[in-house]
Amino acid sequence: MNHLSAAVDWLLDAQTWTGPGQLGARATEHLGYTAVAVLIAAVIALPAGLAIGHTGRGRAAAVLSSGAVRALPTLGLLTLAALAAGVGLVAPLIALVVLAVPSILAGAYAGVESVDRATVDAARAQGMNAWQVLWRVEVPLGLPIVIGGLRLAVLQVTATATLAAYVGAGGLGRPLFLGLRTYDYPMMLGASLVVILLAILLDACFEVVQRLLSYAPGLARTGRLREAR
């Protein structure tokens, strides 16, 4: 427990947080990586996932790819990208996007598929075109699951962004690895606690959004997409 109190002391020290390269800046970096990676992944995966869910085409490939990525070790992906793209920001970002895409893709197509076929059928029978069926029926009704996919992606990316420091990027992994290399246990423990807190906070935000959505009448019950991180 000595380490813990030392870690708390370290965390409570104003010096730990302020200034460039300190914890405040690192946390911002960490959130920045997460946001950029998830955003890029969403731009790729949301349209693709919605299209797969709507048309039913390409589903097998999507299922296969998300299964394969689940088995892919994140550290391996990260180091491979770093060796290929060089030390810096690009490599981790590529790895993070690759990790985030399958979750978002799966959420998008599972969300669309979760909508009762009879409802979709009725919407078509009323004279909605494909685009209207997608945006007025399938997307709003499948939204909780689509957001579940984003939630999972954010979770995975936040966790893996910690490893990004191993290949030379910033983020909260920086003080963690620094503490690891210099046997500064309070520092690495403190940094770990901050990462855990950040991850739980982000996840809690999604929890709140999904809870709010579950009060919206008529929406599918919030399904938390469960997959490997």
Partner 1 sequence: MIEFERAGKTYPDGTVAVGEFSLRIPSHTTTVLLGSSGCGKTTLLRMVNRMVDPTSGRVLIDGEDVAQEAPVALRRRIGYVMQNSGLLPHRRVIDNIATVPRLTGMPRGAAHERARELMRTVGLDSGLARRYPGQLSGGQQQRVGVARALASDPNILLMDEPFGAVDPLVRMELQRELRRLQTQLRKTILFVTHDIDEALALGDQIVVLQPGGQIAQAGTPEEIVAAPANDFVARFLGLDAGRRSLRARPQPGGGWLVSDAGGRPLGVLPDDPAREGPG
Partner 2 sequence: MANAGHILGLTGAHLQLSLPAIAAAFLLSLPLARLANRLRPARALILGGTGLLYAVPSLPLFIVLPVLIGTGVRDTLNVIVALTLFGLALMVRSAADALDAVDEDTRLAATALGHSSRGRFWTVELPLAGPALLAGLRVVSVSTISLVSVSAVLGVQSLGSLFTDGFQRGIVAAVAAGIAMTVLLALLLDLLLVLLGRLLMPWSRR
Q: How far is CA 152 from the centre of its chain?
A: 5
Sign of CA dihedral 31, 93, 147, 123: positive
DSSP string, 106-132: HHHHHHHHHS-HHHHHHHHHTT--HHH
Q: Which of 132, 168, 177, 223 binds partner 1 (CB under 8 A)?
A: 132
Give the nearer residue to partner 2 in terms of CB position, either 43 or 75.
Answer: 75
Is 178 a binding residue for partner 2 by CB under 8 A? The answer is: no
Q: Which of 66, 103, 192, 210 binds partner 2 (CB under 8 A)?
A: 192
Is 53 a binding residue for partner 2 by CB under 8 A? The answer is: no
* Cα–Cα distance, 133 to 116 (Å, whole number): 12
Sign of CA dihedral 213, 217, 220, 222: positive
Is 215 a binding residue for partner 1 by CB under 8 A? The answer is: no
Please state, in angstroms and as integers, the Cα–Cα distance from residue 196 to each residue in 10, 65, 113, 167, following that order: 16, 28, 33, 21
Site residues for partner 2, 147-166, by CB under 8 A, read 155, 158-160, 162-163, 166
Taking CB within 5 to 8 Å according to partner kind, which of partner 1, partner 2, none is near residue 128? partner 1
* Cα–Cα distance, 215 to 221 (Å, whole number): 9
Is 127 a binding residue for partner 1 by CB under 8 A? The answer is: yes
Query: C-beta of 216: minimal distance to partner 1 in Å?
Result: 7
Q: Which one of the spans 38-46, 77-85, 128-136, 194-202 is the region binding partner 1 (CB under 8 A)?
A: 128-136
Is 119 a binding residue for partner 1 by CB under 8 A? The answer is: yes
Is 56 a binding residue for partner 2 by CB under 8 A? The answer is: no
Neighbours of 190 (CB within 10 A): 26
Q: Which of 140, 203, 209, 222 binds partner 2 (CB under 8 A)?
A: 203
- Helices then strands, each counted (H, E), the chain: 11, 0
**Residue 106 and residue 225 in contact, taking contact as beta carbons nearer than 8 Å:** yes
Is 196 a binding residue for partner 2 by CB under 8 A? The answer is: yes
134: which residues sit within 8 A by CB, 6+ positions away? 50, 54, 112
Site residues for partner 2, 65-94, by CB under 8 A, read 67-68, 70-80, 82-84
Please report where in the chains the tokens 């800046």 appear, as a residue: 25
- Which residues would be at the binding site for partner 1 (CB under 8 A)? 116, 118-119, 121-129, 132, 136-137, 140-141, 216-219
Q: Which residues here bind partner 2, judged by CB under 8 A?
A: 1, 3-4, 67-68, 70-80, 82-84, 155, 158-160, 162-163, 166-167, 173, 176-177, 180, 188-189, 191-193, 195-196, 199-200, 202-203, 224, 226-229
